[in-house]
Structures are given as C-alpha cells and as structure tokens.
Amino acid sequence: MSDKSTIPFGPQHPVLPEPIHLKLVVEDEKVVEAYPAFGFVHRGLETLAQKKDFNQMVYVVERVCGICSCMHGQDYCEAIEELMGIEVPVRAEYLRTIWAELHRIHSHLLWLGLFADAFGFENLFMQTWKIREKIMDILEATSGNRVIISVNIVGGVRKDINSEQAKWILKELDEVERQLKDINDVVMNNYTVKQRTVGIGVLTKEEAYELGATGPMAKGSGVDLDLRTTGYAAYKYLDFEPIVEKAGDSYARNLVRMREIFQSIDLIRQALGKIPDGEINVPVKGNPPAGEVISRLEQSRGEVVYYIKSNGTKFLDRLRIRTPTFANIPALLKILPGSQLQDVPVLILTIDPCISCTER
Amino acid sequence: MLDMLKSVFSNLSRKPVTRMYPFEERKPFDINRGHLENNIDECIFCGMCQRVCPSNCIKVDRKTSVWEYDPFECVLCGVCVEKCPKKCLKLDVHYRSCTDKKYNIHLEKHDDSEKAGA
C-alpha cells in the first residue's frame, strides 16, 4: 500500500491533441485511481447566445468543435426550426445528411490516425490521414471551406450539390473505399494493433448503459443506441442498421468506427441516388417564439444534445450543449483503474475525446 | 506483421502525395471562400453586411461613406455576400497572404464619384 504514487497525465502530453488533465494514482505500473480536471479550453460560447442573434449563432455553434462542426450547426438549426415550426425542404434534409456523413468519415479517419499514433504505428497514421484528404477535398469543393463548412442555416442549407459534383463525389468515394479496404485489413488483423487493443479497457454492456456512454463507446459494448434510427434529417429515407460490437474492449470500439466509415460511404451513395430536386432552403421570418426545445442527433462521437430557451426576441435566453465526450468521461474513468500505465494514452483516445466540445 | 507491405510497395512507385507548397500550389476550387473584397464604387453603405456579420468584423459609416473591415476577425462565412443588396461584396477564391502585422481594410467613397454616379 505504501508504494502508491500520484502522477499527472496532461494537460500537455505528446499523444493528446487537446488539453485534458488526469491525476493518476499508480501502484508500480498499475493505475488504481484516476481523477480528471477540465477547463483549459473553455471559451464561453454558450453565453454568446445572449449577444448574437439566432441566425448568427449558427456560425458560433459550428466553432464549438472543429471536427463535427457541421453536425453542431445542423442540430442547432433543427432545434430552432422545431421551435419556429419550419418545414425544411426534403432536398436540404438530404444535403445535410450527406455533409454530416462526410464529416463522420473524416472524423473517424482522423481518430484512427491519432489512435495509431498513440500506440506508435506511424505508418497507419500517415495512410489514414492521406485518405482523409480526399474527404476534405470533397467538403471544400462542395461548400467552399475544408473544415468549418458553414452550410447549415435556419430553414435549410446554403449550398447545393449539382449532378456533376455528385458524380465526382461518387468517383472519389470509390477510390476512398478501395484505399480503406487495404487499411481495414491492417486495423482488423495486424499484430501490433491487436496486442495494444484486444482485451484492453473492457466496458461491459451494463456498465456502458448505466454510465450513460454514447456513440462508438456504447456500440462497442453491445448497446444498440444510434440516434440516426430515430429518423431525423434524411435518415428516415435511408436503409441502414446501427453497427454494434459485443466485446467492449478497445479493439471492439476500433472495429465499430472502422465499420461506420464503410456504412457512411454507403449512406452517402444512397442519399446521392435518392436526392430529389427542389428548393434548398425556405425563408425565415420573425423571431423564435418564447419556449423551450431539446434537439438531439448522432455525431461521430455519439449523441449531442441542444437545449434552447427562447424569450420571443431575436436573442436566445439560454443555450446548453451536452456533447458526446462529456457523456463518455464517466466510462473512461471506469476503464482506467486496473489498466497498465502504458495503456492510458490508448484508453483516453479510445473514447475519441474532443475537449473543445466538452468545455465549449 | 507485414500487412503494410502492400502500401509500402505502392508508395515506392508513386509520386509524393504532398506538394512542395510555395513553389507548387493547388488550384483553388471555384467556390473557395478565400478572402472578402468590396467594390466600393457600387457600395451604398446600407450597413446590411455589418448587421448580419457573426464576428462583427465590418463597420459601415453611412455619413462619411466609409467601409471598414478587419480581415483577422473575419470567419469567411460569406453571409454578408449573400445579403448584400447591391452585390458589391464578393469572396475571392485566393487566400490573403500571411503577415506579421495586423491591419484593417479601410475603403472610402469620394464625393466626386458619388456626384458622377448621380
């Protein structure tokens, strides 16, 4: 008992892209307790809702997170549309879905690269980011920006995808899929990947459910929760099943994300095949009526919740964002005790942490 | 152990994926949001761009006919371009070059041109 010691992990650490601090109590090389500390990148974006009008806030919430920015804007717009009773054109719903799925692909590829980097597989890191560039090019060609694409507005979307672009996207996706299949064999079967992930950080189905884990963290433990099945945006017109793995270890979460990339490619193909012609947005008149609304959707990391309280003016009373990483922190603190110190970076990255989301 | 060999061999025979940036530039996409420009001769100083801007980077003074813009505050969302009634604002596809000093873009319409226009 006397050889317990406490070591700090982060906020600056070679494997962490963003600052999170963990106080780890270790016994030799084994972690026995973990205490998190947050607040290094808090920017007070929620309070800005009282200073910017509800149309300007779309561009603020997109900057909550760089990787799932499109989906933050989409969720915010869907919340305001629900409050104001606006019917979004079907084409806009499809376009939102296409951009959201492109974001899911690039988010998972980015994560896979960082994850490979965390256990020292530099080659896999380079290859995944090389593939990701094709997705970034699609985003840039269709929206005008690489990362924060600013396509969602209250009432629809701002940009359209024409038939030539759709053909080009399908061609690029074929190439992405071909390159991904090579990577897929490595992720599934490579000795190094398996040694560092199989059986590491096991979260049972009951634990995942009780701790409120979400996204691939819950799906990797066999919890069949995917908000896309509730049919927001164009998902109600598309055919898909949530991807679930049973093992609950880091390898299972890895597989969920890898399979979700292929699923997203399939969803984009379906959406581009079924997309109807028509308007891409409807004019919005007046301010949101006084009232409250909650809107949820499935981001690449899990479920994001927007709570909006409006007072009838153009400024909102309260905006509250519950991000998926925040929901996955309790599950992380559950799997850390009992792990070896060298597995801590892998376990932290296995929840796909987005700290700037969590602290807003 | 040798799963990556396939990609190693294919990479050996291929040219680099990266570019030698300052010497070789990629052609920007047609709708790239590079930087904001204002054709001041067309501008009527209505202040619509200032009102819709989410980052408050545009200041319009109708009395003195001055349009001021902070490119370092701008988030290049392009809302001002969409709302401009005279369509004198436009987003160029090329990015502004890097600098070590911040500056504002200050555009004025002279009385002569106003008279000429009238």
SS (H, E, C) A60-98: HHHHHCCCCHHHHHHHHHHHHHHHHCCCCCHHHHHHHHH
Alpha helices in A199-249 (DSSP H): 205-210, 216-219
Q: How far is A22 from chain B (nearest CA, A)?
A: 33
CA distance A58 to A150: 8
| A55 touching chain B per CB within 8 A | yes
Closest by CA to A75, choosing from A323, A346, A340, is A323
Question: Does B117 score more than 60 pLDDT?
Answer: no
Instruction: Identify whether the C-beta of residue A102 lies closer than 8 Å to the C-beta of residue A173.
Output: no
CA distance A308 to A295: 9
- Both structure tokens of A149: 């694409």
Tell me: domain B28-117, CATH 3.40.190.10, correct?
no
CA distance A124 to A310: 47
CA distance B44 to B48: 10
According to the model, what pLDDT value does residue A145 have? Answer: 87
Closest by CA to A79, choosing from A318, A271, A280, is A318
- How many residues does the structure list for chain A? 360
**Residue range A266-324, pLDDT digits in tens:** 999 999 998 898 888 888 888 888 889 999 999 888 899 999 999 888 898 889 999 89
**pTM of this prediction?**
0.88
| B12 touching chain A per CB within 8 A | no
According to the model, what pLDDT value does residue B19 have? Answer: 87
The total number of structural domains in chain A stands at 1
What is the value of ipTM here, to two decimals? 0.81
CA distance A276 to A294: 29
Q: How far is A4 from chain B (nearest CA, A)?
A: 37
- Both structure tokens of A204: 């049972």
| A277 touching chain B per CB within 8 A | no
Beta strands A4-9; B58-61: pairing state: unpaired
**Residue A162: CATH number of its domain:** 1.10.645.10
Which residue has tokens 């700037």?
Answer: A356
**Mean pLDDT per 10-residue section of chain A, whose length is 360 residues:** 80 81 88 87 86 88 86 91 90 92 92 87 87 91 88 89 90 91 84 85 89 89 88 87 88 90 92 89 87 90 91 89 90 88 87 84
Residue of B nearest to A195 (CA): B1
| A184 touching chain B per CB within 8 A | no
| A144 to B29: CB separation less than 8 angstroms, yes or no | yes
**Residue range B47-101, pLDDT digits in tens:** 888 888 998 899 888 888 888 889 888 988 888 998 888 888 888 888 888 889 8
Whole domain around residue A195: which residue ranges?
Answer: 4-359
| A133 to B17: CB separation less than 8 angstroms, yes or no | yes
Q: What is the mean pLDDT of chain B?
A: 83
Which SS3 state, helix, strand or coil, does residue A153 take? strand
Domain parsing of chain B, residue ranges: 28-117
In this structure, what is the dihedral angle of CA atoms A308, A309, A311, A312, given to the nearest 10 degrees?
40
Which SS3 state, helix, strand or coil, does residue A293 take? strand
Q: How far is B24 from chain A (nearest CA, A)?
A: 17
Of the residues B1, B2, B3, B91, the best mutation for testing chain A's interface (the one with the most A CB atoms within 10 Å of its CB) is B3
CA distance A25 to A215: 28
- Both structure tokens of A192: 């190094």
According to the model, what pLDDT value does residue B116 have? Answer: 41
Which SS3 state, helix, strand or coil, does residue B82 take? helix
Contacts of residue B51, defined as CB under 8 A and 6 or more positions apart, other chains included, come to none
